[in-house]
A and B are shown apart, each in its own frame.
Chain A
Amino acid sequence: MGMAEAILLTVATAATPLLLAAIGELVVERSGVLNLGVEGMMLMGAVVAFGVALATGSAWIGVAAGALAGLAFSLLFGVLALTLVTNQVATGLALTLLGIGLSGMIGVAFVGQPGVKLEAIAIPGLTELPFVGRLLFGQDPMFYISILLTAGVMWFLFRTRAGLTLRSVGDSHSSAHALGIKVIAIRYAAVMFGGACAGLAGAQLSLVYTTQWIENMTAGRGWIALALVVFASWRPWRVLAGAYLFGAITIAQLHIQATNLTDLAGLPGPLFWLAGAVKSVPSQFLSALPYLATVVVLVLISRNRRLTMMNTPASLGRPFVPDR
């Protein structure tokens, strides 16, 4: 396996959890709901997936359990933010704080335990193809799920009547309500979908990315996923692009941290000097790159106030109480 191929594979593994979580949140926000609890739902998905996979020995059951855990956890948000019309920002934060706490509590027993790995698929004849074989036909199932989900969401939102209804709820809940659309029910469905996706993202982290449980192992990925949705102006294919951009940044900085200068002795002079300069940057600053990149990307995308206003679902984050 070539170096470039190996790097692309790791980029996909780093991008997949971001893509899964962000594509779910995109649907939630398209329905006009801002759920800041992605980080918490991911952690619950990660810890439950890890525990269930460990107990049953089956990574697939773990994946399903992770998705269910994320979904169940998102219902907590739904009851508060949709039924009791609490402030969505505060409720999402509460979900994240509770998720960090609960997952830490549940996960105490799992710390240091070797987990169950969700194995990459292998198709005889195709996976062995040079270069593209592993990339297209030899990755872990979560990669394919994330791509299919993105395509599915794209199709659902822009090619189906139900998707149009969901977007109308997000753009003007009052008009949608006046047309007889069940605003709250649709938002519940969207929130639950987002929860399941975040749960899947968490399961990917604890069953594919690291195959162990570490407290707070999402390390801000839920928040980066939220930023991706803004970055993508609420468009699925741009979420895909953004997730891979961030996956690439994450992997690039990890590779820089892991590479020894002596391994690069064969490089031509200026390149070697450049590598030396990059290596002299403290590792903490390289680790900060994904977070700094998020800030920069958010600034670039929101600078154009009119464009942002046009793209943002108009009812995003606004509470809705049907007038009976």
Chain B
Amino acid sequence: MRLELVKRPQQSALFSALSPFLAFALMVVAGGLIFLVLGKDPLEGLYAYFVGPLTEVWSLHELAIKAAPLILIAVGLSVCFLSSNWNIGAEGQFTIGAIAGSAIPLYFPDLQNGAVLPMMLVCGAVGGAAWAAIPAVLKARFNTNEILTSLMLVYVAQLILDWLVRGPWRDPAAMSFPQAPAFHSWAIVPELMPMSGRANWGIVFAVVAAIAVWFMLSRTLKGFEVKVIGQSPRAGRFGGFSTARTIVFAFLVSGALAGLAGITEVSGAIGRLQPQISPGYGFAAIIVAFLGRLNPLGIVAAGFVLALSYLGGEAAQIEIGVTDKTVRAFQGMLLFFVLACDTLIHYRVRLVRAAPAPAPAAAATPATETAHGHG
């Protein structure tokens, strides 16, 4: 018995809408199995993971705090992935954004007015974009594989941050902790509803960015260019679009949004620069982008799902005593299921009972090559 794929004449609208939900359901089932293996009650575990965090107001605030960077980064990544630019270094762009934005309050501590925060946000976005420009220019100019260069730069960015907070930017007052001084109140992203929880303006930035990028992708010529270059660079060139320009554009947009996420995170949720500023947001955002089917509006919803997994991991650790390392395992499984379910959009899957003997005629027919780019 084996699986056989039959190409659909056109994409299945049903599975286009259904596949993220199907993937999530499969992850819940697989998650339950993991809890069983770990010797925990699966229902209790799943409740702690995926329902518990939604039942209290303060944790809804935390959900928004965690969803904001994921959505911001993933929205940018969707532009990259749609144009077939595999930027997997968002974690590094996030880090450099955080560093660049933090430079303002650290170097101009006396500047305390309403201009500080906007300047920080702009610097963060510029820093992230500049870091993303490196793999972009290397790809556009030297044809260098952007997957590998963007990822290598993640390690470099983290080492730069490590050097700063242990060296020149270290807070002399913080005894043995390697960390930068805390931001003053003008340099902190304000909370939305301080009465009920910590959620800050980051989530608003994220939703605005998602709407803006959705508009750009679906209603403007630039968005058309991004998608044409992504699906068929040759056709794009005939249409007068430049591949190199699209590469740089996609990386700059996604780097800027990752950088903005970085500075928002350190100035909002953390309050200072420290060696560890991200629980892998830059990588989890790849999952968010695919779960949202590379559509910025879908990404908003997907961002909350992944944010929930972070919160659920913390809750499950406290409530039922499983390690919070399960979070990344759950997230990795989710991406697997998303990719597998996306196959159903392009193909009908048939189970063939017995393998037919290879007919000589069949062997001579040319094979179909499929060029669907994005899973």
* CB-defined contacts of A178 to chain B, threshold 8 Å: 363-364, 366-367
Task: Give A86's nearest chain B residue, CB to CB.
Answer: B339
A84 touches B142 (CB 8 A): no
B148 touches A94 (CB 8 A): no
Point out the residue from A76, A104, A295 that lies within 8 Å of B138, measured CB to CB.
A295
B145 an interface residue at 8 Å Cβ cutoff? yes
Interface of A is mostly: helix
A321 touches B367 (CB 8 A): yes
A50 an interface residue at 8 Å Cβ cutoff? no
**Which of A6-14, A124-132, A269-277, A298-306 is the interface stretch?**
A298-306
Task: Give A77's nearest chain B residue, CB to CB.
Answer: B336
**Which of B108-116, B125-133, B327-335 is the interface stretch?**
B327-335
A284 touches B325 (CB 8 A): no
* CB-defined contacts of B358 to chain A, threshold 8 Å: 180
B55 an interface residue at 8 Å Cβ cutoff? no
B159 touches A287 (CB 8 A): yes
Task: Give A174's nearest chain B residue, CB to CB.
Answer: B367
B195 an interface residue at 8 Å Cβ cutoff? no
A308 touches B153 (CB 8 A): no
B343 an interface residue at 8 Å Cβ cutoff? yes
A185 CB, nearest partner CB in chain B, Å = 11
B283 touches A97 (CB 8 A): yes
For B159, B290, B333, B366, which residue has the most chain A Cβ atoms within 10 angstroms? B159
Query: How far is B326's CA from A308's CA once the two chains are assembled, in angstroms?
Result: 41
B29 an interface residue at 8 Å Cβ cutoff? no
B163 touches A285 (CB 8 A): yes
Q: Given A80-B339, A291-B153, A295-B152, are A282 and B367 neighbors across the interface (CB < 8 Å)?
A: no
A278 an interface residue at 8 Å Cβ cutoff? no
A45 CB, nearest partner CB in chain B, Å = 16
B330 touches A284 (CB 8 A): no
**Which of A206-214, A223-231, A259-267 is the interface stretch?**
A223-231
Task: Give A83's nearest chain B residue, CB to CB.
Answer: B3
Query: How far is B326's CA from A101's CA once the two chains are assembled, in angstroms?
Result: 7
Point out the residue from B86, B145, B162, B336 that lies within 8 Å of A298, measured CB to CB.
B145
B329 CB, nearest partner CB in chain A, Å = 3
* CB-defined contacts of B7 to chain A, threshold 8 Å: 321
B122 an interface residue at 8 Å Cβ cutoff? no
Point out the residue from A86, A219, A223, A322 that lies within 8 Å of B367, measured CB to CB.
A322
* CB-defined contacts of A91 to chain B, threshold 8 Å: 336, 339, 375
